[in-house]
């Protein structure tokens, strides 16, 4: 089973800055994705774990980069087919703004087993840094409110929940592992701020910025947390990653063997 990352560069006419200033653009792009790829079936059933994540980041007021991560290429076959056959212009009906694709690239691809083998066979660094690119918040046991502080345990819990849902190799379901991460992974430094987002008819806050961790001598814990951070770049972290939240970067992505620039079937 492979996980993949695609990036689409869009241009649009957004002179009034409606999309630029929108606190709900991640949720709007999920609707665009479901409509364009015909993927409503991905939201059937009772599971809250989606086999993809996505986020939209602005390059300028007229140019955007849309990142789509596929966690299960079989379950996301309609999304993959849509991306690889060349997306057509898409309309954000809420703002009556049409997005015209300029380029579509598959920029990363790796099998679950290959990522697992790579991260568990190397001695990880003592320090790891995660950049939270879009607002990130977590569900926390014993609380009805979302938690903004990206604790190592919550980071691992979030990523491993998705790993266990879609991986075709080893699972990590031992609660003692989370306790060990809580014990042996320490926050070294951080530069975070809160940012409000609108979603599901409500407004709440998430954290964006940078966070660095010190990994103590326990080699196995260091390896697994290193795996967690690498996988989180595909899965996202925390709540509503399918709606644009929790996008992050931590290390160089496992690139495809040959960077793939996919053909577009329609241009502006």
* Domains in the chain: boundaries: 2-111+254-262, 112-249
The pLDDT of residue 196 is 87
Beta bridge partners of 212: 129, 189
Q: pLDDT digit string (tens) for 255-264?
A: 554 455 665 6
In a 10 Å sphere around its CB, with 0-12 CB exposed, 13-18 middle and 19+ buried, how is residue 121 labelled? exposed
Q: What span, in angstroms and rounded, lies between the C-alpha atoms of 130 and 182?
A: 17
The pLDDT of residue 145 is 80
The pLDDT of residue 42 is 64
The pLDDT of residue 47 is 62
43: helix, coil or strand?
A: helix
Query: Which helix or strand (DSSP H or E) is residue 259 part of?
Result: none
- Domains 2-111+254-262 and 112-249 agree in fold: yes
Task: Please check whether residue 1 is in contact with residue 163, taking contact to mean a CB–CB distance below 8 angstroms.
Answer: no
pLDDT tens for the 268 residues of the chain, in order: 899 999 999 998 886 778 877 878 888 899 888 887 775 556 554 467 899 999 999 888 889 999 999 999 999 999 999 998 888 888 888 888 889 999 999 999 999 999 999 999 988 889 999 999 999 999 887 667 889 999 999 999 999 999 999 999 999 988 899 999 999 999 999 999 999 887 777 788 899 999 999 999 888 999 999 999 999 999 999 999 999 999 999 976 665 544 556 656 544 4
217: helix, coil or strand?
A: coil
Alpha helices by DSSP H, the chain: 18-21, 25-37, 77-84, 112-121, 152-166, 175-184, 219-235
CATH hierarchy code of domain 112-249: 3.30.70.1900
Q: Which CATH code of 3.30.70.1890, 3.30.540.10, 1.10.1040.10, 3.40.50.300 fits the domain covering 2-111+254-262? A: 3.30.70.1890
- Going by the DSSP 8-state scheme, the letter that residue 122 receives in this structure is S
Distances (CA, A) of 142 to 87, 147, 152, 240: 43, 11, 18, 19
Q: pLDDT digit string (tens) for 5-46?
A: 999 999 988 867 788 778 788 888 998 888 877 755 565 544
How many other CB atoms are there within 10 angstroms of residue 23's CB atom? 13
């Amino acid at each position: 089973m492979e996980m993949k990352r695609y990036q689409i560069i869009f241009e649009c006419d957004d002179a009034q800055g409606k999309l630029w200033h929108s606190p709900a653009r991640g949720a709007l792009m999920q609707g665009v994705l479901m409509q364009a790829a015909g993927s409503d079936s991905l939201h059937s059933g009772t599971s809250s774990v989606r086999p993809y994540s996505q986020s939209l980041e602005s390059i300028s007021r007229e140019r955007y980069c849309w990142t789509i991560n596929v966690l299960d290429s079989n379950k996301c076959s309609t999304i993959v087919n849509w991306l690889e056959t060349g997306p057509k212009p898409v309309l954000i009906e809420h703002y009556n703004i049409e997005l015209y694709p300029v380029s579509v690239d598959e920029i990363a691809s790796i099998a679950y087993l290959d990522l697992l083998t790579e991260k568990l066979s190397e001695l990880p660094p003592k320090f790891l840094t995660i950049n939270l690119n879009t607002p990130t918040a977590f569900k926390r046991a014993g609380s009805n409110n979302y938690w903004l502080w990206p604790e190592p345990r919550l980071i691992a819990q979030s990523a491993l929940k998705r790993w266990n849902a879609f991986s075709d190799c080893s699972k990590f379901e031992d609660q003692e592992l989370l306790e060990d991460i809580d014990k042996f992974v320490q926050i070294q430094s951080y530069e975070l701020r809160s940012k409000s987002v609108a979603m599901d008819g409500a407004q709440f806050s998430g954290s964006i910025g940078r966070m660095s961790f010190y990994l103590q001598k326990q080699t196995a814990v260091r390896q697994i947390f290193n795996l967690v951070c690498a996988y989180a770049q595909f899965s996202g972290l925390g709540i509503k990653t399918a709606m644009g939240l929790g996008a992050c970067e931590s290390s160089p992505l496992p690139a495809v063997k040959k960077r793939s620039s996919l053909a577009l079937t329609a241009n502006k």
